[in-house]
């Protein structure tokens, strides 16, 4: 089942049913691409407000929250003694975003 959703509501694992194009018609992300956390963030930064997705591949929101919480806990364990310095916080954020994007 295909549908149009707001980009903010997109979830990693969803599959694009139509390519994302910019104002001049150039393809930014091809049809069939599977969304990742970083790709969604990148599209939001570019001002892409809506996406056409295959709803069948949508991850269950509850499962997504469980997965997200597991990754947050795992990263926090590795950073348990890293303190709150600017480098430690930035690195923790980057690793969290990276692992969310990979879904692992």
Looking at 18, 86, 100, 103, which residue binds another protein (CB under 8 A)?
Answer: 86
Any idea of the CA torsion for 99, 35, 40, 53, to the nearest 10 degrees?
A: -150
Stretch of 2-10, 15-23, 54-62, 79-87 contacting another protein, by CB under 8 A: 79-87
Residue 49 touching another protein (CB under 8 A): no
Any idea of the CA torsion for 62, 63, 65, 71, to the nearest 10 degrees?
A: 170
Q: Residue 5, SS3?
A: strand
- Residue identified by tokens 């990754």 is 71
Residue 56 touching another protein (CB under 8 A): no
Residue ranges binding another protein (CB under 8 A): 38, 74-75, 77-83, 85-88, 90-95, 97-98, 102
């Amino acid at each position: 089942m295909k549908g149009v959703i707001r980009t903010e509501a997109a979830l990693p694992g969803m599959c694009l049913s139509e390519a994302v194009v910019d104002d001049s018609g150039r393809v930014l992300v091809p049809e069939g691409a599977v969304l990742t956390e970083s790709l969604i963030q990148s599209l939001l930064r570019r001002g892409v407000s809506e996406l056409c997705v295959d709803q069948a591949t949508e991850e269950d929101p509850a499962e997504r929250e469980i997965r997200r919480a597991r990754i947050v806990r795992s990263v926090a364990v590795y950073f348990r003694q890293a303190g709150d310095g600017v480098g430690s916080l930035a690195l923790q954020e980057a690793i969290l975003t990276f692992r969310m994007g990979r879904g692992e």
